[in-house]
Structure 1
Amino acid sequence: MEQGTHDTPGTSKGEKIHDVDLETGSPDLSDRVEAKSHADIQFSASFWITTGRPLVQWICTPVGFLTTIYGLNIVAWGGMLFLLMCNAAPAMCHTDCDSLDSPRRIWIEIDSQILNALFCVTGFGLAPWRIRDLYFWCFWRLGRSARSREIGLARLADIHSGWFLRPQERAYLTPTPRWKMHVVVWGNMLNTVFQVCLALCMWALDRFNRPSWTTGLLVCLACLVVGVAGVVTWLEKRRTKKARECG
């Protein structure tokens, strides 16, 4: 007579799973679900402590609140401009989508002007500090004496001490390559230059005689250079932070 497990009438699927768990010694299904739920709760609590709470506290500060409003405006108006460019609202294509008098083209101009004004806040608002960095960069790279070049680099290193490390600053840390300072200084400065060019095109020319390629090209260039500078700064800051913690 063969020995094995046979299903008996009236035996439910849950009872069979429970019997298998008891025979094999594996944890019960309810225990696994409870353990997973406990792990999820611990992860949520740790995420709130390490990320959520500091973020909320930063947003409640004046700088954090204004930065949040600024970022939300860029996302909202930029998203609307993207949808208009993709013809996501056919009802606005009165007579023709490409007609200069259509609601679509009028709102594209309104969105473009608002985004240009938002970009001018950072492009023009940070210009004094960017010009200061360029001034010390000229001392560093174009100084006639070794002392003036050292002073220029030292001032830049002090200004960007949050991510730039000089060779003699920490013996156990790898110094920051100097080309990264070039990228950050010129990336920020070129962002202001491209923003000036964009503002001139948007304000000096109207939508009837402004070349369509100027707006897209200048916006892409301005975002590209400042994006590269921001990524370099962020990566180097993260590297130095990890190195300090390990040291």
Structure 2
Amino acid sequence: MDLASQSVPSPSSRSLRERFSGMFTKKLDWDSIKKMAIEWIRNPMNMALFAWILCVAISGAILFLVMTGMLNAAIPKKETRNAWFEVNNQILNALFTLMCLYQHPKRFYHLVLLCRWSPTDIIKLRKEYCKNGTYKPHEWTHMMVVVILGHVNCFAQYALCGLNIGYKRSQRPAIGVGICISFAIGAPAIAGLYTILSPL
């Protein structure tokens, strides 16, 4: 695998020192940042992502406030608080499941590319996973770890979604929910750390 990787040329990239010196020699141009932000938000995909983040933040905040008892004065009845908890829990569950449904085909595609590992596949995968799209030692193994963790994240979220929809809150198995949440949160977190700490 590594021999195949080495045979594929990498694009030339600026050194780390050059990039940092370029960043710190310039002052922040707020007008250009504003233009970039407006341009970014005009993209329908980015607009949808922003809406998703906003919904997660609002629903997560409400869930946190209910869980910690900060809304006890505003919502004195326990049944009402439980209803608020469940509604926001289901909203978050739906939002994260939607994100997994969106991401999973791409992760399957990357898995197929890793299994084929042709020169064109290597270039595509490097653009996704490697810094500057350049060759890294044992990159196939490192990419495979990240892709598998992505799949673990998706499958754990699907299982969690099934538990949330299939059971009432009182009947929901706490161990199952705990395991699913642990994998659903842990897998992408480990993948992110692995991407940063590994040679990728």
1:97-143, CA deviations, whole angstroms, 9 ceiling, x for partnerless residues? 4xxxx111111110111111101111122222222223344x3xxxx
Q: Secondary structure at the match of 1:192?
A: helix
Task: Name which structure has the greater RCO, CA cutoff 8 Å, separation 6+.
Answer: 2
Partner residue, 2:12: none
Partner residue, 2:52: 70
1:203-243, CA deviations, whole angstroms, 9 ceiling, x for partnerless residues? 1111121123543442342122123334555x49xx99xxx
Which residue of the other structure, out of 113, 118, 126, is the alignment partner of 1:161? 126
Q: Secondary structure at the match of 1:175?
A: coil
In the TM superposition, structure 1's runs of 4+ consecutive aligned residues that sit over 6 Å from their partners are none
TM superposition score normalised by structure 1: 0.59
1:160-192, CA deviations, whole angstroms, 9 ceiling, x for partnerless residues? 2325459xx99xx66254243023211211111
Aligned identity (percent) is: 23
Q: Secondary structure at the match of 2:127?
A: coil
Q: Which moved more, 1:84-93 or 1:108-117?
A: 84-93
For 1:180 and 1:50, locate their aligned partners in 2 and report how far apart those are by CA, in whole Å.
Answer: 37
Q: Which moved more, 1:63-72 or 1:222-231?
A: 222-231
User: Is the CA contact (8 Å cut-off) linking 1:130 and 1:189 kept in structure 2?
Assistant: yes
In structure 1, the gaps of 5 or more residues are 1-41, 140-150, 241-247
User: Is the CA contact (8 Å cut-off) linking 1:157 and 1:165 kept in structure 2?
Assistant: no
Partner residue, 1:175: 136
Larger helix proportion of the pair: 2
State which structure, 1 or 2, has the greater radius of gyration over its C-alpha atoms. Answer: 1
In structure 2, the gaps of 5 or more residues are 1-25
CA separation of 1:131 and 1:174: change in aligned 2, threshold 3 A: closer
User: Is the CA contact (8 Å cut-off) linking 1:136 and 1:155 kept in structure 2?
Assistant: no
User: Is the CA contact (8 Å cut-off) linking 2:157 and 2:184 kept in structure 1?
Assistant: yes
Amino acid at match of 2:136: P
Instruction: Write the mapping of 1:1-40 to structure 2, written as runs, cut at 5 A.
Output: none
